[in-house]
Amino acid sequence: MSTTFSMTPIGFARTPFKDTSEISKGIGAKHTREGELEILPEMVAGLQDIEGFSHLYVLWVFDRVDGYELIGRPPTDDRPRGVFATRSPRRPNRLGLTVVRLMSRRGRQLLVRGVDMLDGTPILDIKPYLSSVPPAELKRGWIADAETRSGRGEDREWTDGD
């Protein structure tokens, strides 16, 4: 069994962001901008029935980052954290995961809200978002502490722990 995997994009994100500095991050960050997921013609058949879902998981590649660090200092906090306890772009397999709202579909273009990736970002996969975890059971780890320390606990539903 192979332990390396090669993947090719199913499409590319079209977003308003040309530079990472334009994407809000850290405590209180809100991702409300719209963008398009432009699916490659040979993958379009896979979009059948997608219109019925309000939200989607988008799996994508941090294609403009080099290297990774297992311990880093997130913008959300002033303390070092393990990469797998954060959403840092500097991670071993460079995988990004974003939940977006599906606004509409136009052919091979999905108009979505809530993008946080750069324009031209390669998309590896899309899946329907179906949350099954009751909010009361969710533990937010160090992010909850960071929010409390920063006095931004009220914004917690927007903070994804960069």
Ligand X SMILES: C[S@@+](CC[C@H](N)C(=O)[O-])C[C@H]1O[C@@H](n2cnc3c(N)ncnc32)[C@H](O)[C@@H]1O
Selected range binding ligand X among 1-9, 17-25, 48-56, 77-85, rule: CB under 6 A = 17-25
Could you say whether residue 116 binds ligand X (CB under 6 A)?
Answer: yes
Binding-site member from 38, 63, 125, 155 for ligand X (CB under 6 A) = 63
Nearer to ligand X, 37 or 117 (CB): 117
Instruction: Tell me if 114 contacts ligand X by CB under 6 A.
Output: no
> From CA 44, how far away is CA 109, in angstroms rounded?
9
Rounded Cα–Cα distance for residues 10 and 12 (Å):
7
Q: In one letter, which amino acid is 58?
A: V
Instruction: Name the β-bridge partners of 102.
Output: 112
Q: Residue 62 interacts with ligand X (CB under 6 A)?
A: yes
Residues numbered 74 to 113 that lie near ligand X (CB under 6 A) are 87, 89, 96-98
Q: Rule CB under 6 A: is residue 7 a binding residue for ligand X?
A: no
Q: How far is the CB of 45 from ligand X (least distance, A)?
A: 26
Please say whether the beta carbons of 113 and 101 come within 8 A. Answer: yes
Reading phi first (left if > 0) and then psi (alpha if -120 to 50, else beta), residue 114 is in left
Mapped onto helix, strand or coil, the DSSP state of residue 38 is: strand
In the chain, the amino acid numbered 29 is A
Could you tell me the smallest distance in angstroms from the CB atom of residue 126 to ligand X? 14
Q: Which residues make up the interface to ligand X (CB under 6 A)?
A: 20, 23, 25, 62-65, 87, 89, 96-98, 116-118, 121, 160, 162
